[in-house]
Structure 1
Amino acid sequence: MGRILTVTLSPALDLSTETPVVAPGGKLRCAEPRSDPGGGGVNVSRAIRFLGGDSAPLVAAAGAAGEAVLSLLRAEGLAPLAVAAPGETRRNFSVIETTTGAQYRFVTPGAPWSAADAEAAAALVAAQVAPGDWVVISGSLPPGLAADHPAALARRLAARGARVALDTSGPALAHAAAQGAGLAVLRMDDAEAAELAGAPPGPPEATAAMASALVARGAAEIVAIARGAEGTVVADAAGRWFCRPPKVQVVSAVGAGDSFMAAFTMGLARGDAPERACAFGVAAAAAAVTTPDTRLCDAETVALLLPQVTAAPL
């Protein structure tokens, strides 16, 4: 299997807890908080580890919170490489209201980046990449970073022989889809796809047509579009498929997309066909939603769910 690296430019120290009722006014007595390293690529690396694989997380960490993120990753058996970043790594906070099951997620911004910060980080990441590596660029962008940065970084890594998988949103997704960034994989959810298309989400067949169109115009070799609990549509030049998960009890949707990217990339890196890798990813996403907070997926649950995933041509 090819080596997998992940890139997280806006990591977070994620704190999570629960309380019976969330209401304004008085103090809310919460359970003991849990701390987890967060951010798109960070969670992809964590999920790969939980699934029995290995990856190298490249993390733009800064300050005490950044060191806490790196320390937590090391405690999980990963060997992160710190990418210099300005300011202080952001902190996020989530609370589950136990009487209703509702989850409240509070997300803070990171410190602004300069053009010099962006170039230094891109140069360090590029220096770590070798031909044949798989590189997952995932997560939000720090303030100040240009929307075309993920696409530009992907082109830079692809020029070094890497296979790049990009999971982003908003203007960064639009740039990557339009510019031809040399991507092996482009992943988005149905809301992001609708924003990109300028039209509301349609049936799976419409999603598949959009994925195929993106492949045909060179946005990526493989395009995956998640449709929430319904599953994920995946397309390449050879065809398109709809991978459906079994029904599971949803505890928290946090980390489902990152768990998908972890398993999907693992499958592709070991040579699986896109539909088979997608089925693995869908099983991982389904496993992730059965866990609380940011605990992602686990290999045992994924192994139980994978035979129940269907992959049908569209």
Structure 2
Amino acid sequence: MSDILTVTLNPALDISTTVDHVRPGDKLRCAAPVRDTGGGGINVARAIGELGGMATAFVALSGFHGQEYLDLLRHEPVTPEVYEIHGETRQSLAVTDRSTGKQFRFVMPGPRWSPDEADGALDAIAAVTPRGGYVVLSGSQPPGVPLHFPTQLAARVDEAGARLILDTSGAPLRALLNVGSARQHVLRLDGAESEDLAGRSFASHTEVADFAEDLVKRGVAEVVVLALGPDGSVLATKGGRWHSNTPPVPVKSKVGAGDSFVGAFALAVERGAAWQDALVQGVAAASAAVMSDATGLCQKADVEALAKAATLARI
């Protein structure tokens, strides 16, 4: 079994295509669609595979689209662990306007879970959690899954002797602040999410680091990473605060940048890297991902080159 388990509660069959122009009212003649396995945890596992590692991917699937998803997943560099639920696995659509290069992303809701399915998922994840390893919970929560599922999972992961890396958003993220001392090892969130939690905008890297450090002091997580888009990422622990970024890169698609960060970061930590070195690997992978078309993730050669060129500063 791999020492990294990723968890995808709300996977999506990703469909990407291009069109000459996106205009209302017209029939838009699209290029042949490309289908990929999507969802935060799956993308993290795929990124780990692209970088030479291996992750077990726990994924909740259902219906016809779920079977199509699994057929695609068997060709990916991951080890699938399927959790069957009722309903139909969702789809998402990314359309790129060739005239402008802009990408439009349409994301469907997933099937509504029952309380029994949510409780069963906790048991199923605990059964395959790698002792001494890492569990990555990434992506949106389906309707019906309790807001405090991440905290419940963190407790189960801790009991199994592993550590949780959490990349979530929205109401489940805000709910973490009401828990008190949570057990997730690493919490990652993007700039918009961090400003929403803080209730204010940040004017500098120092202010971002101050907020991240405050989350650590409040016991929300032992390590907090705040992503700043093209401005890199900030990481805070009890032992220090760092900012890292890469030189500017050509942007083809922003899909998968965050998941590539988490994949590279988790793989680096699992291999024994210091937090600041894992941060560099993460920002390099995020930059590499935006250089890829459609739903493509980071490529190993690009990550290695960007990591060498990346900046790292203590703040």
TM-score for both structures, normalised by structure 1: 0.97
Task: Give distance in 2, aligned partners of 1:26 and 1:174.
Answer: 40
How far did 1:2 drift? 7.3
Is contact 2:169–2:193 with CA below 8 Å preserved after alignment? yes
Aligned mates of 1:115, 1:186 — CA distance in 2: 25
Q: Is the 8 A contact 2:41 2:139 kept in 1?
A: yes
Give the corresponding residue for 2:117: 117
Aligned to 1:84: 84
Checking the alignment, whether the CA contact within 8 Å between 1:11 and 1:38 is kept in structure 2 is: yes
**1:52 has 2:52 as partner:** yes
Q: Kindly report which structure 2 residues correspond to 1:94-105, keeping only aligned pairs within 5 A, or say none.
A: 94-105=94-105
Residue of structure 2 in register with 1:29 after alignment: 29
Cα-to-partner distance string for 1:46-71 (whole Å, 9 max, x where unaligned): 11111111000000011111122222
Q: Letter of the aligned partner of 2:291 in structure 1?
A: T
| Whole-angstrom distance in 2 between the partners of 1:177 and 1:278 | 24
Paired position in structure 1 for 2:137: 137
Q: What's the CA shift for 1:25?
A: 1.9
Give the distance between the partners of 1:178 and 1:240, measured in 2 at CA. 24
Which residue identity lines up with residue 60 of structure 1 in the other structure?
A
Name the counterpart of 1:313: 314
Structure 2 letter corresponding to 1:18: T
RMSD: 1.3
Secondary structure of the residue that 1:15 maps to in structure 2? strand
Identify the residue that residue 165 of structure 1 maps to in structure 2: 165
- Counterpart Cα distance in 2 of 1:130 and 1:78: 15
- Counterpart for residue 176 of structure 1: 176
Cα distance in 1 for residues equivalent to 2:61 and 2:22: 32
Q: Which residue of 2 aligns with 1:251?
A: 252
Aligned counterpart, 1:304: 305
Structure 2 residue 219 is the aligned partner of structure 1 residue 218: yes
Q: 1:178 to 1:264 in 2, by over 3 A?
A: farther
Q: Distance in 2 between matches of 1:19 and 1:274?
A: 42
Q: What letter corresponds to residue 236 of structure 1 in structure 2?
A: T
Q: Is the 8 A contact 1:2 1:134 kept in 2?
A: no
Is the 2:5–2:130 contact (alpha carbons within 8 Å) kept by the matching residues of 1? no
Match of residue 65 from structure 1: 65
Contact 1:2–1:132 under 8 Å retained in 2: no
Structure 1 residue ranges, 4+ long, deviating more than 3 angstroms after superposition: none
Range with greater deviation from structure 2 (182-191 or 75-84): 75-84
In the alignment, is the contact (CA less than 8 A) between 1:178 and 1:219 conserved in 2? Answer: no
The residue aligned with 1:209 is 210
Counterpart in the other structure of 2:263: 262
Further displaced range: 65-74 or 244-253:
65-74
Deviation at 1:201, TM superposition (A): 2.9
State the shift of 1:178 in Å: 3.8
- Structure 1's unaligned 5+ residue stretches are none
**Maintained 8 Å contact 1:10/1:140:** yes
SS of the residue 1:220 aligns to: coil
Residue pair 2:234, 2:244 contacting (<8 A) in 1 also: yes
How far apart, in 2, do the equivalents of 1:10 and 1:34 lie?
20
TM-score calculated relative to the size of structure 2:
0.97
Equivalent pair of 1:122/1:153 in contact (CA under 8 Å): yes
Cα displacement (A) at 1:175? 2.1
**SS of residue in 2 equivalent to 1:206:** helix
Q: Structure 2: give runs of 5+ residues left out of the alignment.
A: none
Question: Could you report, residue by residue, the CA deviation over 1:37-89 in whole angstroms, capped at 9, with x for unpaired residues?
Answer: 00000100011111111000000011111122222121123221111222010
Q: Quick check: 1:152–1:181 contact (8 Å CA) kept in 2?
A: no
Contact 2:9 2:140 in 1 (8 A): yes
